[in-house]
Amino acid sequence: MAFAGGAKVLDPIGPHYEVFRLEKSENPQNVLVIYTRLDEQFRFQLDPENSVMPVFGFYWLMDRTNFKPVHSLIRGGIAERLHVDVPANFSETRSAFTVLVKSTFDTEGLTKQSSALTLDKIYAESETTLLPTFPRVIMLKLQGQNEKTGLPEVKIFEQKNNQKKIF
């Protein structure tokens, strides 16, 4: 994983490295930054609350510039969809971890051609629902580099059943 541009310093997060961003169709001026931290030897820092996992956090950049913490309900939803997978010896090596994106989207046909991506960005297209009044994600676009070829790659996942439900 390469962190172009080096560490970012942002109060109250402190020095950190952006892993990737989540951009969305609703309020596109605000982006979610997913970050980690490295130590002096450029190894991943361990999470103080879970010493076998890396630091893996989130914050909003409102208008793409102003820090805002992520609400605990949103953080919980993110944790359900982004799973950090570490090798058994991670606490000793702290050299690599994988982020798995869990989805209810149609992935049939992609498994044969699927390959891992080093993510740069996730884009979510959403629509407003009536009950509850929260947006519903209907499409995800993953952008990054194919880990086998090193070439840029885009993967698009659409909702399996894109019919609108009123109740």
**What confidence score (pLDDT) does residue 59 get?**
93
Whole-number mean pLDDT of the chain? Answer: 79
The yes-or-no verdict on residue 67 having pLDDT over 90 is yes
CA–CA separation, 117 and 150 (whole Å): 9
| Residue closest to 35 by CA, chosen among 74, 12, 7 | 7
Burial class (CB in 10 A: 0-12, 13-18, 19+), 14: exposed
CA–CA separation, 116 and 45 (whole Å): 23
CA–CA separation, 161 and 165 (whole Å): 10
Which of 18-27, 39-48, 89-98, 135-144 bottoms out in mean pLDDT, i.e. has the lowest? 135-144
**What confidence score (pLDDT) does residue 14 get?**
87
| Residue closest to 114 by CA, chosen among 73, 85, 157, 50 | 157
**What confidence score (pLDDT) does residue 29 get?**
93
| Residue closest to 57 by CA, chosen among 24, 14, 94 | 14
**What confidence score (pLDDT) does residue 11 get?**
83
Parse the chain into domains and list their residue ranges: 10-102, 103-161+163-167
The yes-or-no verdict on residue 79 having pLDDT over 60 is yes
Higher pLDDT, 162 or 126: 126
Contact 35, 12 (CB under 8 A): no
Burial class (CB in 10 A: 0-12, 13-18, 19+), 109: exposed
Higher pLDDT, 125 or 48: 48
The yes-or-no verdict on residue 103 having pLDDT over 50 is yes
Higher pLDDT, 101 or 148: 148
The yes-or-no verdict on residue 156 having pLDDT over 90 is no
Position 118 confidence tier, pLDDT thresholds 50, 70, 90: confident
When pLDDT is averaged across residues 158-167 and rounded to a whole number, the result is 51
- Beta strand 14-24 pairing with 152-158: unpaired
Helix, coil or strand: residue 63: coil
- Beta strand 31-36 pairing with 14-24: antiparallel
Instruction: Give this prediction's pTM.
Output: 0.71
Residues facing 117 on adjacent strands:
146
**What confidence score (pLDDT) does residue 46 get?**
92
